[in-house]
Amino acid sequence: MSVYQELGVTPVINAAATLTRLGGSRMAPAVLEAMNDAAGSFVHIDELQAKAGAVIAEITGAEAGYVTTGAAAALTLGTAACLAGMDVSKMDRLPDTTGMKNEVVVQKGHRNAYDHAVRAAGVRFVEVGTLGYPGAGGTFGWQIEEAITEQTAAVFCPILETPGTLSLPEVAEIAHAKGVPVIVDAAAELPPRSNLQRFIAEGADLVAFSGGKAIGGPQSSGILAGRRDLIDSVALQHQDMDVRAETWSKRHYIDEGRVRGVPTQGFGRALKVGREEIAGLITALKIFAAGKDEDDWARWDAVLDVVHESLDGIPGVTVHRTSAPPARYPAIWVELDEQVTGIGSYALINELLAGDPPIAAAESLADHRRVGVLPHGLTTEEAGIVGRRIRELTVG
């Protein structure tokens, strides 16, 4: 009996890509083996993080790296590092930022639902730029420049293509001229694999990636890559700090005058990472980095071919297929003429999920009468089921 049967939970066929609410990605056998292996012994997590960080640094071109419980956790911890640096009393006070530099500058066009992760560290956003006028709205460089004051802890620059926003290289140049770090949310910006290095090369001081999306690591894993001093601060604000100065693995920090004492159970304790996740993430990252974007595309296209076969020639159904860059991945978008099919986009999504087996389809274009089939989480066999089920439900 599977664990899901035992709990009475019904598995879902995932045609909606790497969604957190469905469990993220399908981990490769080598990743699961690494996690199992890691569970077999105790290790110093500090040491494991340091070795994992070296792998992340090498793959991203950053000075240092750290494994987190996800991109959101990476953003929260990264922000905490920009606030506290190596000041242990500040670490102890977070998320109360009274009396600290506690403002983060962000372009209005970069505000998004995930930026809660940055605000969670206790900062206040200072927004610059406009949405909607003049033209499509936008930001001028001088606006960022003027918004950076003595109170600025960081500039936040998610990778979003909102028209009129300044790009990362432009933002980084302005921020660095004022001595302020730039935090980048690149959670879902893979593939292309070249993005593993791109944002660091473009001037990011910290970059967050999800481990449970394209990298194919554990759902509750992520990467923070960036400046050594900021990653050092993250490490001190994370995990188990229930130690004495005399026995602390980093007691040389005290001797060297880098910290006044041992930080206590830090702000990041609620975001702690297990050795299994660290091992799984690093194994997945190595596999992902060694792979080729073209091979992903070929595999995904083959999966979508199977779905596509069932969808040809249905009255009222138009199949839109993205099969080449600049699209980020291949996809099928099924456009419905409800007059002919008798079923609209939202009803189709709900019927697919209510079926046996349940199928989760992508709903981001449902307002435009389109239902998406995305290949990331589908086996060839499941793709056949998805195609046949959509056909049954749309043949009017």
**Which residues does 348 contact at the CB level (< 8 Å), separation at least 6?**
334, 336, 361, 371, 390, 393, 394
Residue 111 beta carbon to ligand PLP: minimum distance, rounded to whole angstroms: 12
- Check residue 36 for interaction with ligand PLP (CB under 6 A): no
**Using only C-alpha atoms, what is the Rg of the chain?**
23
Of 78-86, 180-188, 329-337, 360-368, the window that binds ligand PLP (rule: CB under 6 A) is 180-188
Which residues, in sequence order, are bridge partners of residue 373? 332
Interface map 189-228 toward ligand PLP (x if CB under 6 A) = ---------------------x-x---------x------
Q: Which residue is nearest to ligand PLP (CB)?
A: 70
Contact 109, 139 (CB under 8 A): yes
Among 53, 70, 181, 218, binds ligand PLP (CB under 6 A): 70
Residue 58, Cα to own-chain centre: how many angstroms? 19
Question: Smallest Cα–Cα separation from 275: which of 48, 121, 65?
Answer: 48
Q: Which residue number, 70 or 268, has a Cβ lying nearer to ligand PLP?
A: 70
Residue 73 beta carbon to ligand PLP: minimum distance, rounded to whole angstroms: 6
**Phi, psi (deg, nearest 5) at residue 292:** -125, 140
**Which residues does 220 contact at the CB level (< 8 Å), separation at least 6?**
69, 70, 212, 277
**Which residues does 133 contact at the CB level (< 8 Å), separation at least 6?**
none
Of 69-77, 255-263, 305-313, 344-352, the window that binds ligand PLP (rule: CB under 6 A) is 69-77
Among 22, 126, 188, 243, binds ligand PLP (CB under 6 A): 188
**Which residues does 146 contact at the CB level (< 8 Å), separation at least 6?**
none
- Check residue 103 for interaction with ligand PLP (CB under 6 A): no
At position 72, the amino acid (one-letter code) is A
Among 35, 59, 71, 348, binds ligand PLP (CB under 6 A): 71
- Check residue 364 for interaction with ligand PLP (CB under 6 A): no
**What's the CA angle centered on 368, arms 367 and 373, to 5 degrees?**
95
Residue 222 beta carbon to ligand PLP: minimum distance, rounded to whole angstroms: 4
First-to-last C-alpha distance (Å) of the chain: 38
Residue 85 beta carbon to ligand PLP: minimum distance, rounded to whole angstroms: 24
Interface map 324-363 toward ligand PLP (x if CB under 6 A) = ----------------------------------------
- Check residue 187 for interaction with ligand PLP (CB under 6 A): yes
Q: Which residue number, 199 or 253, has a Cβ lying nearer to ligand PLP?
A: 199
Residue with tokens 């991203």: 60
Both structure tokens of 60: 């991203």
Question: Smallest Cα–Cα separation from 188: which of 209, 204, 216, 205?
Answer: 209
Among 37, 50, 114, 254, binds ligand PLP (CB under 6 A): 114
Interface map 3-32 toward ligand PLP (x if CB under 6 A) = -----------------x------------
Of 79-87, 147-155, 185-193, 255-263, the window that binds ligand PLP (rule: CB under 6 A) is 185-193
Question: How many chain residues are in contact with ligand PLP, going by CB under 6 A?
Answer: 11
Both structure tokens of 255: 């001797």
Q: How many helices (H) and strands (E) are present in the chain, helices listed first? A: 16, 14
**By the criterion CB under 6 A, which residues form the site for ligand PLP?**
20, 70-72, 114, 185, 187-188, 210, 212, 222
